[in-house]
């Protein structure tokens, strides 16, 4: 069973890379969400290419989340038709990732962040 990684920043991608190389080397799906924020998308793509990772791009810009999510419906539907062993989210507080978390089927949730966000999510009862 594959694991799904959803990232929105180059730093989240580096965290995903560590997990992929550690235990999911040949059994992962990596989604790069392009948000249209500054050079973020370009940097994230360059890092993924340098690390020789296979990835799927989703262009869902921060100023048009609903419209862009509809445009990416074909790509997202393919992701939703599978059950994953583990779901790795780059940011638990990303509204877009939270929306996907509600509809993706998975056995275990992992957060890839700075630790403070995980603590706040746990404190607020968002993990469970």
pLDDT mean for each 10 residues of the chain (128 residues): 94 93 92 90 95 95 88 89 94 85 92 68 63
pLDDT score, position 117: 62
pLDDT score, position 121: 65
Q: What is the DSSP letter of 80?
A: H
pLDDT score, position 118: 62
Annotated domain spans of the chain: 3-123
Helix (H) or strand (E) holding 120: helix 116-123
Beta bridge partners of 29: 4
For residues 27 and 123, give the distance between their C-alpha atoms in angstroms, rounded to a whole number.
32
pLDDT score, position 62: 85
Whether 106 and 87 have beta carbons less than 8 Å apart is answered as yes
pLDDT score, position 125: 65
Residues 6+ apart with CB under 8 A from 117: 91, 92, 93, 111
Whole-model pTM: value is 0.87
Topology adopted by domain 3-123: Rossmann fold (3.40.50)
């Amino acid at each position: 069973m594959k694991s799904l990684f959803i990232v929105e920043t180059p730093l989240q991608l580096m965290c995903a890379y560590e997990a992929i190389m550690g235990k999911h080397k040949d059994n992962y799906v990596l989604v790069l969400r392009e948000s249209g924020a500054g050079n973020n998308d370009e940097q994230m793509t360059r890092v993924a290419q340098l690390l020789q990772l296979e990835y799927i791009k989703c262009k869902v810009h921060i100023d048009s989340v609903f419209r862009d999510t509809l445009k990416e419906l074909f790509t997202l539907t393919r992701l939703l038709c599978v059950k994953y062993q583990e779901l790795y989210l780059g940011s638990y507080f990303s509204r877009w990732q939270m929306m996907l978390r509600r509809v993706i089927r998975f056995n275990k949730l992992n957060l890839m962040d700075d630790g403070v966000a995980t603590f706040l999510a746990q404190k607020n009862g968002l993990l469970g």
